[in-house]
Amino acid sequence: MSEGRTLQAIKFDRKEIKLEILDQLVLPYTTHYIQIKSIDDAYKAIKSMQVRGAPAIAIVGAFSVVVDTYSHLKDSQTIGDLQESLNHLVKSRPTAVNLKNAIDDIRKILADYDTTQVIDESIFKKLLDYSTKLYDDDLANNLKIGENGLNYIKKSLEEEKFEGPFSIVTICNTGSLATSGHGTALGIIRSTYQALQKEKSNEKFFLDNIYPLETRPYNQGAKLTTYELEYEKIPSILICDNMVSSLIEHLNVGKDVHEKTSPVKFIIVGADRIVKNGDTANKIGTFQLATIANYFNTNKNTSIKFIVAAPRTTIDLETQHGEDIRIEERPRKELTTLVGPILNGSEVGEKITVGIATPGIQVWNPAFDVTPHNLIDAIITEDSKAFVKNKDGNFDLSN
């Protein structure tokens, strides 16, 4: 592990107008920041997953507009030029709606001007103000999501009269590295552990352990979530995506996993797009988690709550149903190869690519799936009330 470990995915210097991102392709082994000097740099960094996670993608996209326009202040970049660059940027990760929302907001700022207008200091200032607010609001909202999620967890366990230790399952990386800080689903886990770890809990229950999923094919869980959990000293045990049913059953019948026996009470996931009826696009594998929770709750007398955590900027009220969400497909090489450094004891060596599939094989690699709203118990946002379904089984996300 390299020196200088950090959870800060995005560094923006407000005086120097300089944007750097933590290269998530080399985590957890190396801490390395790269500078983003233009919208095209941001496009490439987002597309190649050097930065990922719906809120972080939007923030880097917005800040890239700031650094790009700043560097062109002395020449004659026009509103029309910028609009063209935005059309390109929005295509970098199409499923995550936060980037589109940020770009739409920027387009609204630009709509006050003629396309031939040269971008001057005053327009630049508006873009700077918008982007810094996006970042600051995201951090503040994540802290609220954490607190609201903790309250929901406490209320659920109290209502059930649950006592003792419990565990949480999560997928992908939804923490500081995927946002401006704290995180969404992992933010709830952070806040819950801060309040309900065994030594601190004033309740009859305590959070004992987290099971992050490896998250194939890109392994954000294995590489990034474990890194964050270890950084925060939150107890966790990594599992593969296909171990969840076995894990829940194993714990339910009182068997231990490395001496941990606390049952899974919550599956908490992030979101890339939540549409009007509550259907939620998130990392591929999320849907199967919801079906697993539903199976156990229906057949095995368990109560495992399936929680989606996201800022309101992830809610897309213009799209009615999950089937209307465009699911991004990623390169075949994510399934057919693994990329990582050679490890020699504690020494981190050269990065190599190894093949793990039959050469030339056809591959299907959707990055996300859609969990139907009927499998979701609660959607937690920065609003103090958790969104839960009404008696007809419908979410109302509009207010």
Q: Kindly list the catalytic residues.
A: 272
Residue number with CB closer to ligand MRU (174 or 371)? 174
Instruction: Tell me how far apart the alpha carbons of residues 56 and 54 are, in angstroms, rounded to a whole number.
Output: 6
User: Which span (46-54, 132-140, 149-157, 199-207) binds ligand MRU, by CB under 6 A?
Assistant: 46-54
Per-residue x/- track, 338-367, ligand MRU (CB under 6 A):
-----------------------------x
User: Which span (129-137, 155-163, 174-182, 298-306) binds ligand MRU, by CB under 6 A?
Assistant: 174-182
The one among 9, 62, 150, 172 contacting ligand MRU by CB under 6 A? 172
Neighbours of 242 (CB within 10 A): 12
140 closest CA partner among 181, 174, 101? 181
Radius of gyration of the chain (CA): 21
8 Å CB contact between 58 and 101: yes
Regarding 212 and contact with ligand MRU (CB under 6 A), the answer is no
Tell me phi and psi for residue 170, to 5 degrees: -145, 160
Provide the minimum distance between the beta carbon of 181 and ligand MRU in the complex, in angstroms, as a whole number: 11
Regarding 101 and contact with ligand MRU (CB under 6 A), the answer is no
Regarding 209 and contact with ligand MRU (CB under 6 A), the answer is no
Q: What DSSP line would sit under 149-177, residue for residue?
A: HHHHHHHHHHHTT--EEEEEEE-S--SGG
Tokens for 315, please give them.
């809610």
Per-residue x/- track, 259-298, ligand MRU (CB under 6 A):
-----------xxx---------xx---------------
Cis amide linkage into residue 217, ω under 30° from 0: yes
Provide the minimum distance between the beta carbon of 195 and ligand MRU in the complex, in angstroms, as a whole number: 21
Residues sharing a CB contact under 8 Å with residue 312, sequence separation 6 or more, in sequence order: 141, 381, 382, 383
Residues in binding contact with ligand MRU, number by CB under 6 A = 18
Give the C-alpha distances (Å, rounded to integers) separating 152 from 188, 275, 306. 10, 22, 12
Provide the minimum distance between the beta carbon of 183 and ligand MRU in the complex, in angstroms, as a whole number: 6
User: Which span (3-11, 47-55, 73-81, 238-246) binds ligand MRU, by CB under 6 A?
Assistant: 47-55
> With 0-12 CB in 10 A as exposed, 13-18 as middle and 19+ as buried, what is 116?
exposed
Provide the minimum distance between the beta carbon of 184 and ligand MRU in the complex, in angstroms, as a whole number: 4
The contact set with ligand MRU (CB under 6 A) reads: 52-55, 96, 172, 174, 178-179, 183-184, 220, 270-272, 282-283, 367
